[in-house]
Structure 1
């Protein structure tokens, strides 16, 4: 009997894992991808969408067009995984049996974890968020733009730095740079997680007139007052606030008893096995590994 492999999630990690497993196993395996929407989003493109450099329709493809022939796709939300029984429960009541499972469930945005964030800020970490931010930037006539991070870990650590440079150029092209103030609010003692990179980034920020506020861990947003406050006791005013929302692992992980309280999967860094489960593996953003949550990381993990 062919080994039954179920891959939960059709993002970068899940798609790569499914295709590589199908190629490697051939007729000795039956690979099934389970994804709630059946659509694959090119998430790095959200940044360009927010700044009006691309159209959203080019960032989404049918997952079936990306999977190898022979890989099955089930378009339904998985709600729970029973590692002992080898069963995945689906939202509409069905089940899928497996011999091995790959959890590529990614990360979810939880803006409600920060008071006022949902009502008072914009983000480019979702398709809808990037579209909202694009419209806000089109309406922007000048003022104070604050860009920050509302929780760690988060996907694509360079993205906030990329955004401040790109929005600075965007404002110059619109002829309103001299009417605008851009500030990066960093929770660290520098602009970026990697010190050597920060030594390059910060002088360029200074040249471009982009301000940096360090040790700013977002605590609360007050939309009516137009202020954002930090755990360190600082408060700054804004006209346009762009915050990376807090991230968590999927509820499926918590409900299945596989992850920590934030929903991240305890994962062996050498084998990618989920701790305590020989038949279950994790890939991409879903793991608790202290490495970048990004598509490039998933590319390196998949083989």
Structure 2
């Protein structure tokens, strides 16, 4: 009898893992409450360039290889001791291995006034619908300030707010509003980016484009009546339009035993193997975990490859490698690090912006056919790993 693998979540990590396992005789089932997979970086292109959301949406079944079972249902509990997954419809699924790949959850109720702000302006972070709302909001903005804030230091896609600031300044400049609408970036860390090495690259570029940077600013309240963001540190910033990256949490569905979740509901894992702590038949990958690395698509992808290899009997381990892209109006760079090395200095260049555009163009194929793309990605990671070991950029 084939090993039964239940994957909770049909996003990038979950779908890649399912497609890696399917050719090897596993009985793979993907459970997701959504019928569509959305390429999350696409939110930026919708919000600041007006690209149609349909470009970044695909039905989940279309991304899974033939033979992978897909269940459109919401998981409500995972019993790791009994090896059972239960869904909202009342179905129960027993497994030999389970992989939690359900992502992080955005908590718009954690900061007073935040949900109302989202309803007023939309954002470039939560959904295609809210990104489209922000696009329409910014089209009507003629003067004042557009503020991007962050409510908690731990959030998915660490360069997201910075990409938003760059793209917003490009949009305003293209509309002749560079001197009339100010872009403000407020972050809860000492520098423009959590890593000073990366901040030293980005800050001059942001300032060159007129972006005002506020550090040590953790959004603690949104005053929609006075149009101001209030920080945990005691400052406030006025806005005409604002977007705040919300606090994140791990999965809201019940996991037994409860101690495998931390205080923010993230699943505790071995950072190298992705095993849920205390269980050799349970894994968690991507944004739903407490792994000490960036919550990003690259992390989920590389963890999926490690879990697939381990289920096939290999002693694979994830190094904590990151490769988070940052784009400006014409250049790009990457945040490259691993568990043992901080981010290295990677200069901005037009070639790296082209690399990011090529990645976006190949994303859907890379999800469905990871066995084809993995050698290409591995060659890139092997080459740039040498820079990490030497502590040098490129």
Q: Which band: TM-score by shorter chain?
A: over 0.9
Tell me how far apart the structure 2 counterparts of residues 276 and 97 of structure 1 sit (CA, whole Å).
Answer: 19
Q: Is the 8 A contact 2:108 2:114 kept in 1?
A: yes
Q: Is the contact made by 2:50 and 2:135 (CA closer than 8 Å) also made in structure 1? A: no
Give 1:255 deviation, angstroms. 7.0
Partner of 2:267: 265
Measure how far apart 1:206 and its partner are: 1.6
- Look up the SS of the partner of 2:147 in the other structure: strand
2:124 corresponds to: 124
Question: SS of the residue aligned with 1:178?
Answer: coil
Q: Which residue of 2 aligns with 1:164?
A: 165
Shift of 1:256: 6.2
SS in structure 1 at match of 2:179:
helix
**Contact persistence 2:147–2:185 (CA under 8 A):** yes
Match for residue 94 of structure 2 among 89, 93, 97: 97
Task: Encode CA deviations 1:190-244: one digit per residue, 9 max, x unaligned.
Answer: 1112211110111111211111111001111100011111111101111111111
Q: Pairwise mapping of residues 1-20 of structure 1 onto structure 2 (< 5 A)?
A: 1-20=1-20
- Structure 1 equivalent of residue 144 of structure 2: 143
Partner of 1:280: 282
Task: Write the mapping of 1:228-239 to structure 2, written as runs, cut at 5 A.
Answer: 228-239=229-240
Q: CA RMSD in A?
A: 1.3
- Local SS of the residue matching 1:233: coil
Runs of at least 5 residues in structure 1 that lack an aligned partner in the other structure? none
Q: Which runs of 4+ in 1 moved over 6 A?
A: none
Deviations 1:97-142 (A, max 9, x none): 1110000010111111000111125421222221221111111112
Deviates more, 1:125-134 or 1:35-44: 125-134
Normalised by the length of structure 2, the TM-score is 0.74
User: Aligned-pair distance for 1:157?
Assistant: 0.4
Which stretch of the first structure deviates more once superposed, 89-98 or 124-133? 124-133
In 2, the alpha carbon distance for the partners of 1:235 and 1:195 equals 24
How many aligned positions are there?
300
Residues 45-194 of structure 1 correspond to what in structure 2 (within 5 A)?
A: 45-121=42-118, 122-125=122-125, 126-194=127-195
| 1:150-189 residue CA offsets vs partner (Å, 9 max, x unmatched) | 1231110001001111100100111111111111101011
